[in-house]
Structure 1
Amino acid sequence: MQKISFLFLVACLFFAGKAQAFERFPVVVTDELQDMLVQRSSGKIDFTLLNTLDEIIFHHQSIPGSMNIPWNVIDDRYTELGEDKNRLIITYCIGHR
């Protein structure tokens, strides 16, 4: 019983850490992003929409106006995001892998 309790505690701590990581950045839901894209097209706001999927998936399924830097090569290609450290960047993908 102690072993199961210990594993449960470890699992809770692991998932709690993951949930806390999301608190660092605001989450943009679909309706908000649609509004933001309309505002971007009319010049009211500016942001980078970054798709982090593999290149093949990006070419078959992506939001128009987004750029693609797969998550596994971001360290090599981050300069493509520009030098403005204050620019809003919204990332999206299919989900957790």
Structure 2
Amino acid sequence: MTSHTAPGAESDTEANDTPSPTNHQGRIADRVAAVTLHGAPLTDEQRAAATALVTDLLAAAAAHGVTLEDWDMVLDLPAGAVDVIRRIHR
């Protein structure tokens, strides 16, 4: 089971509401790093894999107009990605 600390709903967009890839990628890594798990801490490999998974999921979601902020309204996508990565890397 995962418990997480979700940072506030900070915007990762620039003034023109276009996502900034640099800010967005850094924010994803920060969000994955903020996930607190019961048990062993994440390895660097797991953290990188979870960050890559969230990045890929958000790229697919963008085609539907969905952002990380939209996901944050219903679930913690980074924490879910960490759970999945930990499950497949057992």
The verdict on a shared fold, with TM-score over 0.5 as the criterion, is no
Larger Rg: 1
Higher helix share: 2
Band of TM-score, shorter chain: under 0.3
TM-score by length of 2: 0.20
